[in-house]
Amino acid sequence: MGKQQEQRTRAEARAFAEEFIYTPFMVGVDIHEAQARWDELLERVHQGEEVTITKDGMPIARLIGLEQTGQARQPGRLAGRLHYGDDQDADAEIERLFLGSDPFPPEAS
């Protein structure tokens, strides 16, 4: 592929990416710039923006924030809601290892 054709292909890909991938709340930065401004980009993501990292003008990664559920974890929240059948017998060897004698007994001479 000639240099001129390669540049045209990249320009077409860049135009496609800008038209169909980028949104008004999205920030696009080159990979080297992203490395230098990582903390700032993470703060922007935390504020609700999306950051697209590009290499040679092509999108290669997208940073997006995690959705917060708004609920703190509550220990015991499922207490009384989980039931196990009576046929849940533990393997005797596993039970012995967890509850019984030393799992690594001294070797007999």
- Each residue's pLDDT tens digit, 11-45: 777 776 665 554 445 678 999 999 999 999 999 88
pLDDT value of residue 1: 58
Taking the C-alpha atoms of residue 37 and residue 74, their distance in angstroms, rounded to an integer, is 36
Cα→Cα distances 58→7, 78, 95, 104, Å = 12, 47, 56, 57
**Residues contacting residue 10 through CB under 8 Å, at least 6 positions apart:** 56, 57, 58
Tell me the average pLDDT of the chain: 76
Q: How far is CA 70 from the centre of its chain?
A: 19
Taking the C-alpha atoms of residue 35 and residue 42, their distance in angstroms, rounded to an integer, is 11
- The reply to whether the predicted model has a pTM over 0.75 is no
63 or 72: which leads in pLDDT = 63
Instruction: Go through the domains of the chain in sequence order and give each one's CATH number.
Output: 24-65 (3.40.1620.10)
